[in-house]
Structure 1
Amino acid sequence: MTSTTTTPGTPPAAPARWRPPLAVLAGAVVLGLGWGAATSYLQTVLPDPVAGLANAVSPWLVVPFVVGARSRTRGLAVAAGLLACVLQVAGYYATSHLRGFGVSTGTVVEWAAVGVVGGPVFGLAGHLWRTATGRLRGLGAALLVAVWAVEAVVGYGIRLGYVDDAVVFGAVAVTLLLTVGRRPGPLRATARWLAVTVPVGAVGMLLLDPLLSAFG
């Protein structure tokens, strides 16, 4: 016999529905290549102020989060997140090359390296969003909300001064907080982790360009 405990006032979470490992990895391939290719096209058609959605880090980190959320184990979530992010880079640059845009090998390597870090982290974040209990509850959602919030404030607001883009990304961050951040646990669990993930994300965002320049 087993028993479950829930936080008072919080309805018990529905049983998770997991996809088979091969289906998760196949989804990572399709979503990774598909969104990478779509990004190349969207960069030339999206109007302001939503054009930034096709020229930013945080939209690409949604894909590993999604495939991680469908993974039964943490190891599968990490692997699927890595695969999705690296294939987004491949899909984007392959499509851009076929469309006649110049592609630098160094730039591909740089962003693939970013994907090697971001993919596993956000694949795991998606898995934690579905499964975490105790102190880890809310961490997965907080990572996703934080990357959008940091890109809004630091990336577009402080560094670039693009107010319209900052507002769009900030609106996405708030929407994610009020939707993803409320499930499966109380909103305060996500808010608690935001006190950690936002400062760490801000430092990472400030260091990203110097690091890419140093290795470029």
Structure 2
Amino acid sequence: MDTETASGQDGSPEQAVPLWALFVLSATGGLIVGIAAMVARGLLPGSVAWIGDSGAAWAVAAFVAGAAAAGARPWACAVAGLLAPWGAVLGYHGFTPLLWLDGQDLRALLVWTVCAAVAGPLLGLAGHVWRARRGRWRTGAAALLGAVLAAGGAFELIG
């Protein structure tokens, strides 16, 4: 059994979180983000409904998961960053047919799953760096998240 934990910045034992709990919370948080994005897509008016379809929210979930795991080893932050957007993909594409009664495009599900597999660990590591490091490393990690958010907005403006 793996006894590794994700501890707080000061390493105090009362702040230690078992890795399995961190991973469950990352996936569950992602699931909630995916469901919220799907509901937003269906309920927001036309000009802002794209926010529900934006992968930027899922990127924020991966970054936050990595930041929450900052006391753990970098690989654990990458896994937490992966589980958050995979949870979002599951939440979004799993609950859309239930709430809106429309069919799902399996190609879109595959594309978002692959995107999450690439971007999730990178943003999880960026969250780890943002929380655990100082100086330019921290600035670069925040800039990566900002670039993802800006790219999402630019894509919507151009598309």
What are the superposed Cα offsets for residues 2-49 of structure 1, whole Å, 9 maximum, x if unpaired?
A: xxxxxxxxxxxx748664322211211211111112221111112355
TM-score by length of 2: 0.81
**Alignment correspondent of 1:148:** 149
TM-score by length of 1: 0.61
Letter in 1 for 2:111: E
Aligned equivalents of 1:145, 1:104: Cα separation in 2:
29
* CA separation of 1:134 and 1:39: change in aligned 2, threshold 3 A: closer
The Cα of 1:121 is off from its aligned counterpart by 0.9
Moved over 3 A (4+): 14-20
Does the aligned pair in 1 maintain the 2:33–2:57 contact within 8 Å? no
Does the aligned pair in 2 maintain the 1:36–1:90 contact within 8 Å? yes
Does the aligned pair in 2 maintain the 1:37–1:95 contact within 8 Å? yes
Does the aligned pair in 2 maintain the 1:18–1:70 contact within 8 Å? no
Structure 2 unpaired stretches of 5+: 1-8
RMSD: 2.0
Aligned equivalents of 1:102, 1:121: Cα separation in 2:
31
Does the aligned pair in 1 maintain the 2:27–2:83 contact within 8 Å? yes
- Give the match's secondary structure for 2:103: coil
* CA separation of 1:97 and 1:155: change in aligned 2, threshold 3 A: same
Aligned equivalents of 1:21, 1:81: Cα separation in 2:
13
**Alignment correspondent of 2:6:** none
**Alignment correspondent of 1:186:** none
Identical residues among aligned pairs (%): 32
Question: Between Structure 1 and Structure 2, how many residues are aligned?
Answer: 145
**Alignment correspondent of 1:104:** 105
**Alignment correspondent of 1:45:** 43
**Alignment correspondent of 2:75:** 75
* CA separation of 1:79 and 1:118: change in aligned 2, threshold 3 A: same
The Cα of 1:66 is off from its aligned counterpart by 0.7
Does the aligned pair in 2 maintain the 1:128–1:140 contact within 8 Å? yes
Aligned equivalents of 2:53, 2:105: Cα separation in 1:
17
**Alignment correspondent of 1:95:** 95
RCO higher in structure (CA 8 A, sep ≥6): 2
Larger radius of gyration: 1
Does the aligned pair in 2 maintain the 1:132–1:138 contact within 8 Å? no
- Give the match's secondary structure for 1:137: helix
**Alignment correspondent of 1:30:** 28
What are the superposed Cα offsets for residues 135-158 of structure 1, whole Å, 9 maximum, x if unpaired?
A: 523121111111112222x3123x
- Give the match's secondary structure for 1:92: helix
Does the aligned pair in 2 maintain the 1:19–1:70 contact within 8 Å? no
Aligned equivalents of 1:37, 1:143: Cα separation in 2:
25
Letter in 1 for 2:58: W
